[in-house]
A and B are shown apart, each in its own frame.
Chain A
Amino acid sequence: MVDKIHVAVLGYGFMGSTHIDAWQMIEGCVVKGVWGRDFSKTKQFASERGVKAYSSLSEILDDRDIDVVDICTPTYTHADYAVQALEAGKHVIVEKPMALSLRDADRMIHAADKSGMKLMVAHVLRFFPDYMQVRKIVEEGGIGEICQARAFRGGPFPAWSPWFGDVVKSGGVAVDTAIHDVDFITWISSSSAHRVYAKIIRNVNGNLAKYDIAIINIRYGDGLIAFIEASWAHPPSFPFTMKLELDGTEGMITLDNQPPIPISLYTKNAKHSYAPESLPWKPMVHPFPLDPFYRELSHFVDCIRRDENPMTDGRVSRKSLEICLAAVKSSESGKPVNLPLEV
């Protein structure tokens, strides 16, 4: 392994930018450059971040310096880019959802297996300090056996980027957003999902009101039931909210990312809130190592250096994708959907 890990980031959107922040804090990592589909935007973004602007994906794949390709482009592009990068001998970290079909997920898994390169899907929720703490309590047996899980993740319609509203490109809220909680709950449960029943209420073509909201019931093999609500239907005044409740045989845990928060600062013009443990997307002031993106990418770097399997490799992530796709199928058919899904 080379001393320094050189990274190329695909995508100049919100996630690309967030990942670059994190990469630049990780010792022994260098973001060499970025690439996105619009070259003038790529050049502007690259110059803002002080990195190279690649003119094409193949330029990255041919660059022998590059060890890691970090895919932060819209979801529908993930599979093709990941497969190409893996085949070119690059390690790949790809934003969630890894793909929009199991066929594509399998192509990615196969490419990773064949090339021997690492493939990690960025399920960042596993690296949030508060969710990590929940997992720790569960692991220590703090609530006994988990019988019920409820999760909420939602806010206004993501209007900042038009591809989210295109279900063909993003999978909609049931795939794009619910997958965070699907992955987390599946991770902490001791069995796998057997049955999914979901309703998706969507109006993404409306001129005025755009909304996409999913409620997903999941039954796991051991009798755990999970309910996940993922919303892009809340009004613009509604703050992005994450909630989790776990009811176990010996207790319960609730998590809510809304106040109480550790520090509130009121000034003449604004209110600032500081909760470094749980609000990572705010300018990270202190202390950076708690930033979930930093931890997530550090985990990937550790896996590369130690030749270990990332905790959310292609196979693990495929399970969550499968549940989300089952939710879509259930909503379309009006029936519960049994797992595994046929490819």
Chain B
Amino acid sequence: MSATFRVGFLGVAHFHAESYAKALKKIPNCEIVGVYEEDTGLGNRFGEEFKIEYHASMSELLNKNLDAVIITSENSKHHEYVVNALDNDLHVLCEKPMTINLRDAEDIVCRVDKKGVKFQMCYVMRYHTVSILVKELIDSGVLGKPILMVGTNKLNRSLPLLRSWFTDPGLSGGGAVIDHTVHLADLMRWYTADEVVEVYTEVGKNVNKTIGVEDNFFTTVRFRSGPIGHIDGSWTYASGFYTWGDVAMEIIGTEGAILMDAFRQNIYFIGDKHPSNRLSWSYYGCDPDLAMVREFKRCIQEDRPPRATARDGLEGVKISLASYESSKRGEPVQLF
């Protein structure tokens, strides 16, 4: 690896592209070399915003002597972009969900194993100070044995409407289930060091009747060693909610309980003029995106495995797809 860490963006349709780009700008010896994006307008705007070159051709960008790529495209394109990056021996930071079908997810795991490059999933909650502290508390044994985890990773309903692909199942793979199951599922897997063996999902009626994907669901999961998890990743928070959404979890153990609300803030802000003329939480907490991107660079430089790998990506895909299957069949779906 060269002295400067050279990164390219493959697809920037996901909002997170911007926060990862901002994070990269804060990291020393790091250069965003360029951006590839199928949507010329979007790609150009992104290039201008971050003063990087826009490439209408993916292979052109991949030939720019890169170390790594960040894939923040529409979900359905992840697999193709990952394959291209791996074929060019590049390390990959991939937005969640890893893929929208199982075959592609398994294929990625297989190819990453063969190539031996670093593949890090954007499971950003593994890099959030609050959720890390919770992991440490659980590992310390202060809770006894965890028996139940009830989480919400709900989204302000106005957000998925800002980019139309989020509600286009061909590009997204579905609605709230595919979008917002994985963060909580991954945290629960991380906390228990265990795997989900059973998934049951109820998809309720939509709060937003104008979109063609689901926005309202509950998923109950069972882990192999017994603990139960409950996941609510609905896009049902009202548009005037304090912020974009939440990542909150209650963890009950045999000896205690933890309540975590990772993005909860104690500053309320309200202005006179739109859009700040509603009560909101003013965020000054940790920057998990920065921590995650920095860790990606370090894993490559120090040749160690990322905290969230392609396998973790695969498990997230499995659980989300099992949710759809369960909802369709009206019964629990077994994994493994």
Contacts and interface: CB of A to CB of B under 8 A. Distances in A.
Contact of B330 (A150, A231, A336): A336
Interface in B236-285: 236-238, 240-241, 250, 252, 254-257
Task: Name A's interface SS.
Answer: strand
Contacts, number: 102
Interface of B: 144, 147-148, 150, 152, 198, 200, 202-209, 216-218, 220, 222, 228, 230, 232, 234, 236-238, 240-241, 250, 252, 254-257, 330-332
Interface in A191-244: 195, 197, 199, 201, 203, 209, 211, 213, 215, 217, 219, 222-225, 227, 229, 231, 233-235, 238
A217 B252 contact: no
A129 interface: no
Nearest to B255: A209
Nearest to B200: A197
A229 B150 contact: yes
B205 A222 contact: yes
A201 B216 contact: no
A13 interface: no
Contact of A249 (B203, B209, B228, B255): B209
Contacts of A233: 147-148, 252, 257
3 closest pairs, A vs B, by CB?
A223-B205, A225-B204, A247-B236
Contacts of A336: 200, 330-332
A219 B204 contact: yes
A334 B206 contact: no
Nearest to B257: A234
A198 to B, nearest CB: 8
Contacts of A222: 205
B1 to A, nearest CB: 47
20 contacts: A147-B204, A147-B205, A147-B236, A148-B207, A148-B216, A197-B200, A199-B148, A199-B220, A201-B147, A209-B255, A211-B254, A213-B252, A215-B150, A215-B230, A217-B218, A229-B250, A233-B252, A247-B238, A252-B236, A335-B331
A222 B222 CA distance: 27
Nearest to B215: A147
A167 to B, nearest CB: 17
B289 to A, nearest CB: 27
A283 interface: no
A225 B147 contact: no
Name the residue among A197, A233, A234, A251 with the largest chain B CB count within 10 angstroms.
Answer: A197
A158 interface: no
A249 B204 CA distance: 12
B228 A225 contact: no
Interface in A310-343: 334-336
